Structures are given as structure tokens and as C-alpha cells.
Amino acid sequence: MTVRELMDKYVRLLRRAGIKSPRADVEWLASDVFKCSRSELALHGHKMPTREQVDRMRKNIKRRLDREPLQHILGIGDFYGYEFRVSSAVLIPRPETETLAELALGFLHPLPAPVAFDLGTGSGCIAITLAKRCPGVKVIASDVSESALNLAKLNAETLDAIEQVEFREADGLPALAEGEQVDLIVSNPPYIPSGDIAGLQPEVRHYDPHLALDGGEDGLQFHRLLAAEGQSRLKPGGKLMAEFGDGQESAIEGLFAQAAWASVKITNDLTGRPRIVIASAGQ
Ligand code: GLN
């Protein structure tokens, strides 16, 4: 069987199993096995794979059939054009969170020597992207999970951002010292209502850490704290930017309205769904 025939066979298998993007998944897994880019795979199509390559491909496909996310099989997730190591200790970076990073960068860029705080950094994807794209920024990145923080540090080293990011193991806003104020608080906190987790797709519910998903009974446990206490941790004119889930927009607006921020704005993600709250502290 040629490489192309092998790949076609696995595309059919994944499709029959109900996996959403079978062709793309097989191409990613094959490019890992054949050590080439996805576009170069066409050059290998007519070749006969070695026994070892067939075995590796079969193992990768088996993991995907067990609904293990592609990023876990490859060990890597892409975010903002950078490759982040991922594991079951961290949420796989999502494209919607790139919008959050982009908004954060837009705010930080004009500031002289800004300080940002990434609450619940996970893989470090937001914190490290800010460091890479805004060379003058200093980022404080916290997580309650030691294993997440270890992976985030590794990512910061690999991506050469370790000098700009300070990692702190802590739960929420207390990661900042008493009286310490920053220009920006950015966060993709857990926001899935506890009762909804069992209904998520298997890739998410079995492989993303529940610690990174579960936002309490209504999913808003972290936003409630951010709305109430975030402002005291910001410098005058500072901003808080946080991601939230489907259908949470009006509850989020309510929470931030109660806490008397100078202004509150909701922004959509790339699919046009309300996804990010931007709250500004007074001057
Ligand atoms: N966006 C993730 C999902 O839908 C949830 C991430 C989070 O809770 N912050 O699976």
C-alpha cells in the first residue's frame, strides 16, 4: 500500500467514526510520521511506507479514534503562529483566544514599559505571545497548577521569552503582591458551567483539564471575582480583558456594571460570537 492509499484508508476510518476534519487530521498525523510539512506529503504519496512508519501511523490513528485531540498526539498546539507544547495539564490553545491576545497587544503597544498579568496561564500561550509581540512588556503569568506552570516555563524557554515572563504559582488575583498594580489583566479563565462539562465533546471532556474548564455552577465564578476585585489591581487607565463562554454575555455585562468600571465593552471572536469583555479602570 502506498502512502496515499494508507492515508485515504485512514481518512475513511476517521470519517466513519464521526471525526469532524478527517482529511486534515490524517495529514497532520502523517506529516509527523513522514517528517515533512502537510504540503510536502503529496511528494511522498506514491512511495511505499516502511513497516515502522505504518506502525507509527496506525498508533497515531488509534489515539485519534479514541478521541485524543490532535494536539496531544503531536504534543504541540499552534497559537498566534507559535508552537506551544501541550499536555493533559493544560487547555489546548484555542483560535478564539488569539482574538484576546490581539486585543491585549493593541492596548499594550503604545504604553511605555507596560506590565501585564495573565491569570490562569495554562500553556503560557497568551503570556508568551504578548512577550514575543511586544518586546517592551513584562508579563506576570500565574496558574494554580504546578504542572501547567512547568509546561508554560518550558514553552517560554523554547520560544525565547523567559526573560520577559515571571511565573507565579497562585490561585487568582492573589498572584499579585499586596498593592502591586499592572496595566493589563488578561485572562482566559475556566468558564464552563460545572453541569455542562459532561456534555462537551470527548476531546474536551476527556483530555482538557477540568481545572481549566470548570467555572462553577453558572461558569462565572472567575469573572465574578475579576469584576469585583480586578480594578484595585490595575493602574489608573488600566484594562481588564477576559474571555467568556457562549450565552454568558448579558450576565457578564451585569457583573461588570455592578462593579462600577469606567467603561465596559464586549467584543466578538472570529466566528462573530460575543467572547471577550474589556473593562477599563478609571483614570
Ligand atoms: N473555550 C473552551 C471550550 O469551549 C473553554 C475554555 C475555558 O473554559 N476557558 O472548550
Instruction: State in words which class domain 88-280 has.
Output: alpha beta
At 100 the pLDDT is 98
Q: What is the mean pLDDT of residues 109-127?
A: 98
Give the global pTM: 0.95
Using left for φ > 0, alpha for ψ between -120 and 50, and beta otherwise, residue 113 falls in: left
Tens digit of each residue's pLDDT (9 = 90 or more) over 70-79: 999 999 999 9
| Residue 180 pLDDT | 97
**Domain boundaries in the chain?**
3-66, 88-280
Q: Among 126, 145, 192, which residue has the most ligand 1 atoms within 8 Å of its CB, making it the best to mutate?
A: 192
Is the beta carbon of 204 within 6 A of some atom in ligand 1? yes
Pocket test for ligand 1, best of 98, 119, 188 (most atoms within 8 A of CB): 188
96: CA distance to ligand 1 center in Å? 9
pLDDT tens digits for range 155-209: 999 999 999 999 999 999 999 999 999 999 999 999 999 999 999 999 999 999 9
How far apart (Å, rounded) are the C-alpha atoms in residues 38 and 35?
9
Picking from 31-45, 84-98, 132-146, which range would have the lowest pLDDT averaged per residue?
31-45
Cβ of 219 below 6 Å from ligand 1: no
Q: Which residues contact 278 (CB under 8 A, 6 or more apart)?
A: 103, 239, 240, 241, 264, 265, 266, 267
Per-chain mean pLDDT for the chain: 97
94 C-beta closer than 6 A to ligand 1: yes
Residue 283 has pLDDT above 90, yes or no: no
